[in-house]
Structure 1
Amino acid sequence: MGLRIAMVAGEASSDLLASHLIRALKRHLPDAEFFGIGGPKMQAAGFNSLWPAEKLSVHGYVDALKNYRELSAIRRSLLDRLLKDPPAAFIGVDAPDFSLWLERRLKDKGIPAIHFVSPSIWAWRKGRLKGIARAVSHMLCLFPFEPELYRTAGVPVSYVGHPLADVFPLVPDRAGARELLQIHKGGPVFTFLPGSRQSEVRNLADTYIATAAVLHERHPDARFLVPLATRETRLLFEEALRRHAHLDVPIRILFGHAVEAMTAADVVLVASGTASLEAALLKRPMVITYKMGKWSFRLMRRMAYLPWVGLPNVLAGREVVPEVLQDAATPQALADALDGWLTDPARTAELTTIFTDMHLQLRQDTAAKAAAAILPYLRGRGL
């Protein structure tokens, strides 16, 4: 029987990241068993998920508090299983509020605890560094500015790059994406991404539709693509479209195909998160927006250390794309920011250069580097 490796991943992006890691580890450990909490991509790689990953997908402080009792019960139950039958190692993929609690208790029992994807301590909650140092045996960082923070705190750390930079081509095939989506000659193409979580779509759908209406008045031949990842988010957006049927905006909902829709777009409107990094790697001009409950937003703003929320701006160390957030994110303001890219080709060309440099810096063969950092913790534990 091979090594048993426990993992937790709760978001769609974490599920993808973890699935690549599982395959990379299996190249060294073909008989290893991977189990815990994970999504469909991990399961396709041979992962045994004991609970559905969606249980961990909460949004903001208020959402987390509402689901605290159920999440706490799942976490305690998983810990009991792992302590009764210890794995060779535990790998928490993102989901820091859930996984770090587990990691600290497992590490205290001598089980290597690796955390893959640094919590955003560089943006807020830097006070967590001491707790992270107690909880993790090794931190795997996706971004080049993160490792120094952990070295200062005495945490073993590796920079592994971002897996999307390995997957996405340096020069996106825009013509091919438009052909695939059957977008032929015409006016500007806008791609709107309201997020992968139901709560994000609820918060943004009405604003996105109203923004499209403003742009449609200015550009009657414009087209609007809205890729949605799940049936639930699609239904929520369709409900919002029915509420605004009087606007008669040519919005085309896509089931998936977010990468193709961004590649095909002239400009992207994106909820802050991994999708903003995807848009950067696809060299697309964008506007970043976000809305959440007012209390969650106030807490986030109070605890913030950086003036930006979007990864492209954080990585650049300056605002290279507009961020229009919360109450400022009116349909008029968002339409003006999106239009700004259409009228300034020199600015768009400069952004393409910035994003190409960013892509090269993040391209590190992430899964292989992460596996190489993890393997030493398995030596002497059956490897």
Structure 2
Amino acid sequence: MASSADITRRQSIALVAGESSGDLLGSRLLAGVRERLPEVRLHGIGGEHMMAQGFASDWPMDKLTVRGLFEVIPRYREIKGIQDALRDKLLADRPDVFVGVDYPGFNLGLEEQLKKAGIPTIHFIGPQIWAWRGWRIKKIQRAVSHMLVIFPFEESIYRQAGVPVTYVGHPLAEVIPLQPDTRGARQRLDLNGPGRVVAILPGSRMSELKQNGAGFLAAARLLKQRDAQLQFVTPIGGDRQIAAFQEQIRQGGYEDLDISVIRGQSHSAMEAADAVLVASGTASLEVALYKKPMVISYKVNWASYQIMRHMAYQPWVGLPNILAREFLVPELLQHQATPEALADAMWFQLEDHAHQQRLARRFADMHQSLLRDTSRESANAVCEVIGARRR
């Protein structure tokens, strides 16, 4: 490890996060970096959580936020233009290290160019090559100086491929309490009715709301017919998304469900819930860390799904199931995600108490396996890369 005097002479770290989950993860890394390097300049692309750590975003993060193989096509020219402009800026500025926070489609291409030019690159959160993108390992070898991974089984994958790697734990395992306070969360959200609470999380992107929102709402109606006292809560991240979801409620005639649509507060909604209907992604892991029964669902553009389906080489999509290596919770994807199927699966999660207890035990074990001081571990790895370059 380089001395503190060596490291503190390094003045600049560049980072890119392309969506809200990456912004949160990036902020945890930056909190640790700030302790080690209080005067360092932090810049690139990020969101409000990273900016709270003194980060300067050279472009708005929402310019990059898009998901799906075909959904990106209309935005490709704009996103590629940002990538090229940022590359040129970084090649001129010569930061001491570049950290790509998730968002591999954008970051790996940028990292490859920077590493070739002699700028060390770190990728924080290994791309899910263990899920369906195994071919990416070759590009990772070219692009990444050091990989930071958040799941313990990933270390051996990258080590075998010759990519320096550090397991830093999952930041969410620190943020989310080991014991959820369901009653307190309901009080915070004014969910004071006598009925059980179902959280509905169709996704944070406009494309996700478009694909998942109507089906999730139709499933909620079917659940309400089985239990008239059910309470529904949906956390939504932005004004446009809230407006879009409320329009789906109006168009579908779901006003009678009296869904509590709240801005943000997704963790409180999960903590308050008896069961969660959630779009696949990081949110499903968050639900597991809150020890809640869930149904995982997802729909994407038909052509995107066909490509993804043929590239998959393991049976699971949801992170809790991937970590468990079994179907702990149901996954209803694409054409399987009918309102009837979603409602049936959710009803089981609400009604089977023995199943709920088994899930709580498995999710508690999962939580412990992911718990590390991620901020400190990731910051140490960043400083080690900077120090190695100086030596």
Please classify the TM superposition score into its range, dividing by the shorter chain length: over 0.9
1:29 is matched with which residue?
37
CA shift for structure 1 position 170: 0.6
- Structure 2: distance between partners of 1:53 and 1:305: 32
One-letter amino acid of the counterpart of residue 205, structure 1: G
1:97 is matched with which residue?
105
1:350–1:362 CA distance, 2 compared to 1 (3 A) = same
1:341–1:14 CA distance, 2 compared to 1 (3 A) = same
- Structure 2: distance between partners of 1:296 and 1:234: 25
- Structure 2: distance between partners of 1:112 and 1:246: 52
- Structure 2: distance between partners of 1:27 and 1:257: 28
1:248 is matched with which residue?
256
2:216 is matched with which residue?
208
1:239–1:153 CA distance, 2 compared to 1 (3 A) = same
Identity %: 49
2:143 is matched with which residue?
135
Q: Secondary structure at the match of 2:242?
A: helix
The superposition leaves residues 197-255 of structure 1 with CA deviations (integer Å, 9 ceiling, x where unpaired) of 11101111111111111011111111111111111110110110110126722211111
1:156 aligns with 2:164: yes
The superposition leaves residues 275-318 of structure 1 with CA deviations (integer Å, 9 ceiling, x where unpaired) of 10110000000000001110011111110111111000000010
2:189 is matched with which residue?
181
One-letter amino acid of the counterpart of residue 308, structure 1: W
1:246–1:61 CA distance, 2 compared to 1 (3 A) = closer
Is the Cα–Cα contact under 8 Å of residues 2 and 33 in structure 1 kept in the other structure?
A: no
One-letter amino acid of the counterpart of residue 27, structure 1: E
1:185–1:172 CA distance, 2 compared to 1 (3 A) = same
| 1:1-383 map, 5 Å | 3-245=11-253, 248-379=256-387
1:380–1:282 CA distance, 2 compared to 1 (3 A) = closer
The superposition leaves residues 170-209 of structure 1 with CA deviations (integer Å, 9 ceiling, x where unpaired) of 1111111112222235222110001111110111111111
Q: Secondary structure at the match of 2:72?
A: helix
- Structure 1: distance between partners of 2:185 and 2:257: 22
Aligned residues: 383
Q: Secondary structure at the match of 1:192?
A: strand
**Structure 1 gaps, min length 5:** none
Is the Cα–Cα contact under 8 Å of residues 193 and 231 in structure 2 kept in the other structure?
A: no
- Structure 1: distance between partners of 2:255 and 2:15: 46
CA shift for structure 1 position 367: 1.2
Tell me the TM-score normalized by structure 1: 0.97
Tell me the TM-score normalized by structure 2: 0.95
Q: Secondary structure at the match of 1:248?
A: helix
CA shift for structure 1 position 266: 0.8
**Structure 2 gaps, min length 5:** 1-8
Is the Cα–Cα contact under 8 Å of residues 149 and 165 in structure 2 kept in the other structure?
A: yes
Is the Cα–Cα contact under 8 Å of residues 281 and 319 in structure 2 kept in the other structure?
A: yes
- Structure 2: distance between partners of 1:64 and 1:179: 40
Q: Secondary structure at the match of 1:49?
A: strand
| Larger RCO (alpha carbons 8 Å, 6+ apart) | 2
1:101–1:246 CA distance, 2 compared to 1 (3 A) = closer
The Cα RMSD (Å) is 1.3
Deviates more, 1:102-111 or 1:181-190: 181-190
Is the Cα–Cα contact under 8 Å of residues 10 and 96 in structure 2 kept in the other structure?
A: no
Deviates more, 1:174-183 or 1:75-84: 174-183
1:166–1:246 CA distance, 2 compared to 1 (3 A) = closer
